Structure 1
Amino acid sequence: MSINFTHKPNYFLFAQLLIRHIEGYVIKHPDANNAIFDLRDIYELFRQDLASTTTNLDGILNIADEYTIDTLNGDQKIISKYHIDAEQNSLLIDFNADALNSLREGKAIIAPDATLHQ
């Protein structure tokens, strides 16, 4: 007897959840230029999907850092850089200042084209 199953995580869904979490964070903390998220909070955000919070997090962040917003200087990425700190169990995110200002002004976030990624 053979049981075949696959688990293909939806990186784009988790990237969208993370970007919306960042958007809420920016609204709640209007002076923030960066953020530090506890990975336990990301685990809850990803609906307790341990693989997405650990092994797949870098892949999800690679998609999340492709989200842009319209600024006076054209479309700018929201995330300028990120770092997963496994020792401190945290995710550190630095934001692009121009994109952050546009986000605070209420401009819409532009998602990457999912059909261009494999």
Structure 2
Amino acid sequence: MDLKFAHHSDYFFFSQLLIRHIENYVRKHPDADNAIFDLRDIYELFREDFASTTTNLEGILNIADAYRVETINGDERLIQSYKIDVKNNSLLVDFNADALRSLKSGRPLIEPDSSLQE
């Protein structure tokens, strides 16, 4: 008997959840140019999927930081940089100032092309 199974995290689904969470954060905190999220909140956001909050988080963030916003200078990434702070159980996100301004002014997020991702 041969049992085959695999756990494939839906990276694009979770990156979409994370980006929408960030988008809501930006609306609630219009003066913020960065964000700090508790990883417990991300765990809840990911519907308590432990693998996505730990092992797969870097891959999810790699997709999330590919989201762009149209600016005067062309399409720019919303997330300039991020850091997973394991010691403080937090996710630190720095935003691109131009993209953040455009998002706040009502420009929509541009999703990455999933067919081009590896």
Q: Same fold (TM over 0.5)?
A: yes
Tell me the equivalent position of 1:44: 44
Q: TM-score, normalised by structure 1?
A: 0.98
SS in 2 for 1:44: helix
Paired residues, number: 118
* Counterpart AA for 1:112: P
1:21 partnered with 2:25: no
Tell me the equivalent position of 1:109: 109
Aligned partners of 1:104, 1:117: CA distance in 2, in Å? 27
Shift of residue 4, structure 1, vs aligned partner: 1.3
RMSD: 0.6
Tell me the equivalent position of 2:79: 79
Aligned partners of 1:17, 1:71: CA distance in 2, in Å? 23
Shift of residue 87, structure 1, vs aligned partner: 0.5
* Counterpart AA for 1:104: K
Runs of 4+ in 1 over 3 A off after TM superposition: none
Q: TM-score, normalised by structure 2?
A: 0.98
Shift of residue 2, structure 1, vs aligned partner: 2.6
Tell me the equivalent position of 2:92: 92
- What are structure 2's unaligned runs of at least 5 residues? none
CA-to-aligned-CA distance 1:1-29 (integer Å, 9 cap, x gap) = 33211111110111111000000000000
